[in-house]
Amino acid sequence: MAGINKVRVPMREQPPEKRIHNFDSVPLGYSEEEAVIEAQRCLQCKDPTCEANCPVHMKIKAMIKKIAEGDFREAFLIAKEDNPIPAIAGRVCPQEDQCEGACIMGKRFDAINIGKLGAFVADWARKNGVEEEFQIKDRKEKVAVVGSGPAGISCAVDLRKLGYQVTMFEALHIAGGVLQYGIPAFRLPKDVVNYELAFLERIGVKLKLNNIVGQNIKFDELRKEFDAIFLGTGAGAPRFLNIEGEKLKGVYSANEFLIRVNLMKAYKFPEYDTPIVCGDRVGVIGAGNVAMDAARCALRLGAKEVYILYRRTKEYSPARDEEIQHAIEEGIIFKELVNPVRFLGNDDGWVTGVELVKMKLGEPDRSGRPRPIKIEGTEFIMELDTIINALGTRPNRLFLGKTPELKTTSWGGIVVDENLMTNIEGVFAGGDAISGGATVIQALGEGRKAAKSIHNYLSGIKKLPK
């Protein structure tokens, strides 16, 4: 390792004092020269553990080798073989816990910056007009994909490559699911999302937007019309604390707040006449990636002070280290070891603050993190103008409420077998609809597995997909 750079090539970023005033991408991406230098750090392991730890099993070693050689076109084509949206996945997936977390180089030095290299080749391909090319031999069988988030995208792409007639149903007016409504533009630029998703229609996937299955079209009608169905309905329903004052004006779920910001373009007001109320002092309850997104959006919308209110300490936050670091750089204030007791409001029904209680950390719970324990008699009041609950999500109840025959768990997740088939023959599911909330790359992996299972099912093959 004597001749190999031990430190990764740093990613250029917008400086904090500038980026807090815009919604432009924080990372500025690698230049061609930077990408080559970073790729040349790769050891080209005989048995690449990064690939084994990737939910879609991308050919990472081969992709990086081509980048190191300056063959960006071939690197992009290799990436696209297994990942239909590399520009998106490279930006938002938790590589540090997956491919990069298993990188051999990372055992002693900096892991290879796999995610940023994947995003680089996808951006390069877009800029240079390079697209994946393949021949599709059409089949007569028809498959419906319900939901156009990551799981639905990968399932639809793989099935279309196999020749199936694929129709995708999306409840919203734009495809992409959580990629559109949940992740802010400073983390995932919307032009990147729209370009990557345009690939679906280019290969012949039929998109039916503004179509709520169970409402615009009945689930039984879908079953009659299609030979198989994939449910990628996501987890768009928020969780609540169920405490006093939660219905006060100025108290948002993170889902509503981010949908207003991202999907309804509140961040482009007054160009889009869809503003959102965001006072001077904002409190965000929770410390996951969604909490960081909401807090950083609030700051950009004009809040003077934004607090993360978390019942543990930041070292136990489920958010990515990169997102926490960016939040801290931007001035987000972490108020640790506190938990809400009730929300306070005025006579007009607007929130004015929150009563918090101090916590301490006990023995690990089922999550493997220390259990937060309330310290009796430590309640105090914190004045706030806006509160955002970022407590996690649940599967789509609007769809599930219309399909009572579908077997679900106690918390609303769709029950599937080892092939991702539900209790209804020919109906498969994956992504957040079965997990309640995971990562983009995990959803992509489940969509690919479901596509193999659907192919086996429609081909009369009973063996499990590899």
**Each residue of 101-115: pLDDT tens digit?**
999 998 889 999 999
Residue 464 lies in a domain: no
297 in a domain, yes or no?
yes
Do residues 98 and 180 share a domain? no
Q: Of the residues 341, 368, 391, which one is the last residue of a structural domain?
A: 391
Of 146, 97, 148, 86, give the one whose Cα is nearest residue 119: 86
- Whether residue 75 contacts residue 67, with contact meaning beta carbons closer than 8 Å, is answered with yes
Q: Return the bridge partners of 408, or none.
A: 414
CA angle 172, 174, 179 (to 5 degrees): 95
Is residue 267 a contact partner of residue 289, using CB atoms and an 8 Å limit? Answer: no
Same domain, yes or no: 49 and 186: no
pLDDT the model gives residue 278: 87
Residue 264 CB coordination number (10 Å)? 17
Strand pairing partners for 306? 282
pLDDT of 194 reads: 93
Q: Which residues contact 298 (CB under 8 A, 6 or more apart)?
A: 257, 278, 282, 284, 306, 386, 388
Task: Return the DSSP state at 431.
Answer: T
Which residues, listed in sequence order, are joined to residue 305 by a DSSP beta bridge? Answer: 281
Per-position DSSP letters for 278-292, written without gaps between them: --SEEEEE--SHHHH
Residues 244 and 380 in one domain: yes
Residue 221: inside a domain, yes or no? yes
Q: How many CB atoms lie within 10 A of CB 358?
A: 16
Same domain, 219 and 254: no
Do 257 and 386 belong to one domain? yes
Same domain, 113 and 188: no
- Which of 63, 98, 127 is a domain's end point? 127
CB 38 within 8 A of CB 113: yes
Two tokens, residue 6 = 């031990």
Q: What pLDDT is attached to residue 164?
A: 97
Task: Output the pLDDT for position 435.
Answer: 85
Domain that holds residue 214: 142-236+394-459
CA distance 333 to 329: 10
Tell me the pTM: 0.92
Q: Is residue 8 part of a domain?
A: no
CATH number where 60 lies: 1.10.1060.10
What amino acid occupies position 423?
N
Residue 433 in domain? yes
DSSP lists the bridge partners of residue 285 as 309, 389
- 58 part of a folded domain: yes
Q: Which residues of the chain have pLDDT under 50?
A: 463-466
| 102 DSSP assignment | G
| Domain assignment present for 137 | no
418 and 377 in a common domain: no
Same domain? 248 vs 381: yes
Same domain, 275 and 382: yes
Question: What gap in Å lies between CA 427 and CA 228, rounded to an integer?
Answer: 6
State how far the Cα of 26 lies from the Cα of 279, in Å rounded to an integer: 24
Sign of CA dihedral 9, 15, 16, 18: negative
Contact 373, 360 (CB under 8 A): yes
* Whether 276 and 368 share a structural domain: yes
Q: For residue 208, what is the domain's CATH number?
A: 3.50.50.60
Q: Is 217 in the same domain as 335?
A: no
Q: Compute the distance between CA of residue 344 and CA of residue 278 in angstroms, rounded to an integer.
A: 17
Q: Say whether both 244 and 289 belong to one domain.
A: yes
- Report the distance separating Cα 230 and Cα 222, nearest Å: 11
Q: Among 357, 372, 391, where does a domain finish?
A: 391
Domain count, the chain: 3
DSSP state of 260: I
Three-state DSSP at 345 gives: strand
Cα–Cα–Cα angle for 398, 181, 191, rounded to 5 degrees: 140
9 inside domain: no
pLDDT at position 466? 41
Residue 348 and residue 321 in contact, taking contact as beta carbons nearer than 8 Å: no
- For residue 463, the model assigns a pLDDT of 47
User: Tell me, what DSSP letter sits at residue 210?
Assistant: S
pLDDT at 461: 67
- What phi and psi, each to the nearest 5 degrees, are found at residue 379? -65, 145
- pLDDT at position 4 is 72
Please, what's the b/e burial string for 393-420 (b: 16 or more CB within 10 A of its CB; e: otherwise)?
bbbbeebbeebeebebeeebbbebeebb
